[in-house]
Amino acid sequence: MIMVKYGGYIPFNFDGVPLDRVADVAERSMLRRYAQENRHGAFGFYHGTEVEGLVHTRTGYHSYHV
């Protein structure tokens, strides 16, 4: 049995995420990609439109314009 903490979320180290317990293939893929990109410092959140926006990372942000 897993104890539920923090408002229903269970914290894991990236290497300890039980991906075999994630039923949805897309969610499992997203979590795997997030862990890999985070290890390499490449993960970011995009905020903008299809033409321009910002990618926010742990070290700052990058502006993009197509």
Span 3-32, average pLDDT: 80
Q: What is the pLDDT of residue 54?
A: 93
Structural domain count, the chain: 1
Q: What is the pLDDT of residue 6?
A: 60
Domain span at residue 29 reads: 14-65
User: Closest Cα to residue 43, out of 52, 30, 53?
Assistant: 30
Residues 6 or more apart from 47 whose CB is under 8 A from it? 53, 54, 55, 56
User: What is the spatial distance between Cα 24 and Cα 32, in angstroms, rounded to a whole number?
Assistant: 12
As a whole number, the mean pLDDT across the chain is 82
Domain-embedded: residue 4: no
Domain-embedded: residue 54: yes
Domain-embedded: residue 8: no
Domain-embedded: residue 45: yes
Residue 1: band (very low, low, confident or very high) from pLDDT cuts 50, 70, 90: very low
pTM score? 0.55
